[in-house]
Amino acid sequence: MPRAESSAAPSVERFFQLSLLGLVASGYLAVAGSGYLDNPTIALTAAGLVLRALVICGLFRLDISEGAISATTLAYAGFFVADYLWLSRDFLSATVHLLFFLAVMKILTARGNRDYLYTAVIAFLELLAAAILSVNFNFVLFLSLYLLFAIAALCSGEIRRAYARSALTARGGTRRFAPRLGALAVLLTAGILAMTAGLFFLLPRTAEAAFARLIAHRVFLPGFSNQVTLGEIGEIKTSQRAVMHIKVYSAQPVGPLKWRGGVLNDFDGKRWSNTGPRMDRIEVADDHVDLVPIDDRHPGSRINYHVDLEPLDTDVLLFAGTPETIDIRARIMYRAGDGVYRLGHANPQGLHYDAYSRLEDRPETSPPLYPPPVLSLAERQRTLELPAIDGRIAELARSFTAGAAGDLERARKLELHLRGEYGYTLQMPAREEADPLADFLFRRRKGYCEYFASAMTVMLRTLGIPARLATGFQGGVYNPVSELWLVRAADAHSWVEAWIPGRGWTTFDPTPPDAGGAGLSLATSIALWLDAAETFWQEWVVTYDVARQGSLAGRLEQRARQYGVRWFDWLLSVGAVWNRYVVPGARRFGPWAAAALAAGFLLWIGVGPLMRRAHWRSRVARVRRGEASGADATLLYRRMLHVLERRGYQKPVWFTPLEFAGSLPDSQLGRAAREFTAAYNALRFGGHAESAARLSLLLDELERVPAGG
C-alpha cells in the first residue's frame, strides 16, 4: 500500500501541471490580445487548453497513443500545404497555424519532464511573440499573469522533484496544500511587481538626485577652461569613462572625427591659457540656431549628427568641423572669436543636441576659400607671441622645413617630422622639467598629444606662422550594439591650428598613432555591450518621460507592423522575384515536395521504432545469456511498467518500486509484478547477476497474463 505520508504528492502534481497550463494560457492570451490571430486559431487553441485542464482535474480521461500523435501530425503536414496554397494563401499565417497546432498537441500529450520543459518553452515563445506584436496595456496584465504562473510552476516543480527523489516524506504540513502554495505564488509575484515598479519609476531618479549631492558625477576635462598646464590632458587619457555618445547620419562611411571643444592661444613655456576671451551672446529661438548664415557658407563636405553629452565640469559644446546649425534645448549660447561655443553654465545631465557641420577638406587638394579669410592684426600678434624658449627649438624648426615653399608646406613638413621621428607614450616625465618642450624635443623624444601639439605650435610661431592649440576628442569607438560612436575620456586629444593664407585656420595633427591602442579585444567587446546597456538605462529609465514614452510606443508599433503576421503579404506585393519564381515553383512542385517530406517523415517514424525494437531484443538476449548490468535491469523494469500501463496500472512518480508493487491487487498480474520487482532490486541494487535470466522470464509471463488476470 502507498505511504500515508505521500498523500500530498497528487496535490503537488496537479498544482504543477495546472501552473504549466496557466503559463501557456497567459502566453496564448497575450498573443491573442495583440489582434494578430484569426478566430479559428483562437477557438481551437482555447479548446485544447480547456480540454487539458479537464484532464488534469480528472474530469476527463484522454489517452492518445504515440502512433495516433504521429498520424495526426503527418496528416496536418498535408493540411499545411493546402492551408498555404488555398486557405490562408500566406506562408507566415499558415506557419502560425502549424505552430499553434503543434503547441496544442504537445500540451494535450505531455507526460514526462521533457514534455513539461517543451511546454514551458512554448509558453515563453508565446510571450516573446506577444512582446513584439503588441504594445497595449493588456500585455502588462498577461505578463504579470505569466510571472505568477512561472513562480507557481517553479515552486511546485521543486517540491515535486523532492517527492520523486526523497525516500522519506514529511508527515505534516500537507493540509490545504494547493491554496497555501497558490497564495505564496501570488505574494511573490506581487512583491516582484512592486519592486520592479519602484526600480523603474522611483529609484533611478531618487538615486541620481541623492548621489548628485554626495558624489561629484561630473567629468573634469582640463583644456576646456581658460588655462591648462602641460601634462593635465594626458592625465585623463587613462580614464575609460564615457564623455559623449554620437549618432552620425551619413549615407557614406564616416571615419573617426575630431570633436573640437576649446582653443588656447597664450603660452608661457609650461602653461596654455586664454586671457579674457570676448564672448558673443546668441539667442536660441525654438531650440534652433543658424550659426553661419547661408550666404556665408563655403562649399565642402558636410555631416549631420546627434550628440548626447555626459555631465562635464565645463560649459563647452563639442563639434566636428565648423558647426553651421544647431538644435538644442537652451535659451542662450555664447560664441568666442576663435569659434568656441559655450552654454554659460556647466553641462547638465542629459544634455543633447543636433548639429550640421562643414568638415575641413585637405588643403592640398581643395580650392582656396573665396572670399579669402582675413586675420586681424591683433589676432596675428597674439598667435605669434612666444615665451623665452630654448634657442635650439627655432633651429630645429628651420631644419625640419628647409626647402619648403609657403606656409602650408612648412607646416606639413613640421607635422610629418614630428609624427615620424618621435614616439608616443602616456608615461609622465620622472620629474618636472624647467623647460618641458626642450626636454621632449631633445632628450625624451617621446610623449603624448599635448607635447606634440605644443611643440609644433611653438615651432610654427618661430617661423612666423600664426598657430594655436586646439583641444577636444579624437575618434572614439563605434558601438555596433547601440549604433553610436562612444567617445571616452581616454580619447582626449590636442592638435594644432595654423593660419594658412587663403585658407584660414587649418588643422594639423603631429601626434603619431598609439600602437598599443589598435585592435578590438574581448574586454573591449564586453565594455561595448555594457555601454549599450548603460545607454539604454539612461535613455529609457533615468531620463524616461512622456516624450520618450511616445517614442518607445511608436517604435514598438512600427516593429509590430513590420514583424506582424501580415508583413509577409507586403513582402509578396513588392518582391518581384518572389512572385515570378518562388510562388509558381511552389504551386508546381509543392505537392511533390510535400509528398517527399511526408514519405521521409513516415520513413523516420517507421525506422525509429524498428531500430528501438532491435536494440531492445539485443539487450534482452544479453540478459538471458547472464551478461546483464544495472542499466539492463532498469530497461527491463521500464518495460514492465509499460506492460502494466497497458493493463490500467500506472506507477506514481513518488512511489518506490516496492510500494508500487505492494499497491497492485492480489492477482496473477500483481504476484508476477511483485516477484519481478524483487528480482529487479536484487540485480539493480544487490548486484546478483543470476537474477537477470529470471527477470526476462517474468517479463514474458507478465506479457502473457490476460486482461483482468
pLDDT for res 353: 93
Instruction: Read off the C-alpha cell for 21.
Output: 497550463
Contact 46, 39 (CB under 8 A): no
pLDDT for res 99: 72
Q: What is the mean pLDDT of residues 127-133?
A: 71
Q: What is the DSSP letter of 451?
A: H
C-alpha span between 205 and 537 (Å, rounded): 12
SS (H, E, C) 231-258: CHHHHHCCCCCEEEEEEEECCCCCCCCE
Closest C-alpha among 420, 410, 499, 392 to residue 463? 410
Q: What are phi and psi of 309, to 5 degrees?
A: -100, 135
Mean pLDDT, all residues of the chain:
77
The separation between CA 666 and the C-alpha centre of its own chain, rounded to angstroms, equals 62
Number of other CB atoms surrounding residue 419 within 10 Å: 17
pLDDT for res 323: 94
Residues 575-612 pLDDT 10s: 555 556 566 666 666 667 777 776 766 666 655 566 66
pLDDT for res 83: 83
pLDDT for res 509: 93
The separation between CA 537 and the C-alpha centre of its own chain, rounded to angstroms, equals 12
Q: Which of 72-81, 315-324, 475-484 has the highest mean pLDDT?
A: 315-324
Residue 223 has pLDDT above 60, yes or no: no
pLDDT for res 59: 84
Sheet containing 271-273: order of strands: 227-229, 271-273, 266-267
Residue 210 has pLDDT above 50, yes or no: no
Contact 21, 115 (CB under 8 A): no
Residue 203 has pLDDT above 70, yes or no: no
Instruction: Read off the C-alpha cell for 168.
Output: 522519506
% of the chain with per-residue pLDDT over 70: 72
Contact 703, 643 (CB under 8 A): yes
Q: Residue 307 belongs to what H/E stretch?
A: strand 302-309
pLDDT for res 216: 41
Instruction: Read off the C-alpha cell for 649.
Output: 496500472
Strands (DSSP E) found in 440-593: 446-447, 467-474, 477-479, 484-488, 492-500, 504-508
- Of 61 and 495, which is predicted with more confidence? 495
Instruction: Read off the C-alpha cell for 216.
Output: 561629484
Residue 467 has pLDDT above 90, yes or no: yes
Closest C-alpha among 233, 606, 612 to residue 447? 233
Residues 602-640 pLDDT 10s: 666 655 566 666 666 666 666 666 565 666 777 778 888
C-alpha span between 51 and 4 (Å, rounded): 31
C-alpha span between 559 and 500 (Å, rounded): 52
pLDDT band at residue 170 under the 50/70/90 scheme? very low
Closest C-alpha among 138, 160, 136, 119 to residue 15? 160
pLDDT for res 1: 34
Cis bond leading into 277, ω under 30°?
no
- Of 349 and 382, which is predicted with more confidence? 382
Q: Look-up: residue for cell 607635422?
A: 415
Is the alpha carbon torsion for 286, 290, 291, 293 positive or negative?
negative
CA angle 324, 326, 329 (to 5 degrees): 165
C-alpha span between 645 and 702 (Å, rounded): 12
Q: Look-up: residue for cell 502512433?
A: 67
Contact 632, 679 (CB under 8 A): no
Q: Residue 632 belongs to what H/E stretch?
A: helix 630-646
pLDDT for res 97: 78
Q: What is the mean pLDDT of residues 33-62?
A: 83
Q: What angle in degrees, to the nearest 10, is found between the helix axes of 138-165 and 9-33?
A: 160
Is the alpha carbon torsion for 467, 469, 470, 475 positive or negative?
positive
**CB-neighbour burial class of residue 40 (10 A; exposed 0-12, middle 13-18, buried 19+):** exposed
Residue 168 has pLDDT above 50, yes or no: no
Q: Residue 43 belongs to what H/E stretch?
A: helix 39-56
Q: Which of 10-24, 220-234, 322-336 has the highest mean pLDDT?
A: 322-336
pLDDT band at residue 694 under the 50/70/90 scheme? confident
User: Which is it for strands 322-328 and 271-273: parallel, antiparallel or unpaired?
Assistant: unpaired
Region of 155 please: left (phi>0), alpha (psi -120 to 50) or beta. Answer: alpha
Which of 42-56, 265-279, 403-417, 523-537 is predicted least confidently? Answer: 523-537
pLDDT for res 394: 93
Q: Look-up: residue for cell 482555447?
A: 46
pTM attached to this predicted model: 0.52
Task: Give the SS3 label for residue 270.
Answer: coil
Largest CA distance in the chain: 119
C-alpha span between 17 and 653 (Å, rounded): 14
CA angle 507, 510, 514 (to 5 degrees): 120
Residue 201 has pLDDT above 70, yes or no: no
**CB-neighbour burial class of residue 555 (10 A; exposed 0-12, middle 13-18, buried 19+):** exposed
C-alpha span between 476 and 122 (Å, rounded): 43
Contact 694, 679 (CB under 8 A): yes
CA distances from 696 to 512, 675, 703 (A): 83, 12, 11
Residue 565 has pLDDT above 50, yes or no: no
- Of 265 and 699, which is predicted with more confidence? 265
pLDDT band at residue 414 under the 50/70/90 scheme? very high
Closest C-alpha among 292, 282, 286, 284 to residue 321? 292
User: Which is it for strands 423-424 and 446-447: parallel, antiparallel or unpaired?
Assistant: parallel
In sequence order, which residues have a C-beta less than 8 Å from that of residue 302 and are 6 or more positions away?
321, 324, 356, 357, 358, 359
Q: What are phi and psi of 617, to 5 degrees?
A: -65, -40
pLDDT for res 709: 63
- Of 133 and 468, which is predicted with more confidence? 468
C-alpha span between 146 and 388 (Å, rounded): 76
DSSP characters for 395-409? HHHHHHTTT--SHHH
Residue 295 has pLDDT above 80, yes or no: yes
Residues 371-407 pLDDT 10s: 888 999 989 999 999 999 899 999 999 999 998 989 9
Which of 32-36, 106-110, 456-460, 701-705 is predicted least confidently? Answer: 32-36
Task: Give the SS3 label for residue 16.
Answer: helix
Q: Could you tell me how many residues make up the chain?
A: 709
Residues 680-689 pLDDT 10s: 888 777 777 7
The separation between CA 233 and the C-alpha centre of its own chain, rounded to angstroms, equals 34
Sheet containing 288-290: order of strands: 288-290, 322-328, 351-358, 302-309, 242-249, 484-488, 477-479
Q: Look-up: residue for cell 538644442?
A: 328
